[in-house]
Amino acid sequence: MAETRIVTDRISLAELKVLAHEYYGDTIKAVVDVPQGIIGVGGEFHSEIEKLLIEQHDSKRQDTWGINLLLDKTGNDFIEFDSMVNLKPLYGNRTRTVEDLAIQAAIREVVNKRVSST
């Protein structure tokens, strides 16, 4: 099983590339808890990361959003808002993508705060 880490401070792009190499090469799965401003990264499935956030950091299902970080991309292309954990009809999200642009912006803010390019 690939390593999964919960990032509460900062993680470098180089560290993400090492974690991503185990499964997807230039892409790493991540789940963002927007209110807490933390990210779980690594592993094979978004659902595994989300479960860790819920169990270890008291995250709430409605606050967690699955993304993919495309490590060979920059700017708006760095984040892909696609994950099965985003299917949350009870919370107004009916697809695998994060439909609410305000939530997308909040996710970008957390990622920019937690992921450093060096």
pLDDT tens profile 63-75: 999 999 999 999 9
Q: How far is CA 71 from CA 2, 19, 32, 58, in A?
A: 17, 11, 16, 28
Q: Which two tokens stand for residue 46?
A: 């978004």
Q: What is the pLDDT of residues 79-92, one digit of tens each?
A: 999 999 999 999 99
Whether 50 and 84 have beta carbons less than 8 Å apart is answered as no
- Sign of the torsion formed by the C-alpha atoms of 108, 30, 67 and 63: negative
- 38-42 and 27-33 strand pairing: antiparallel
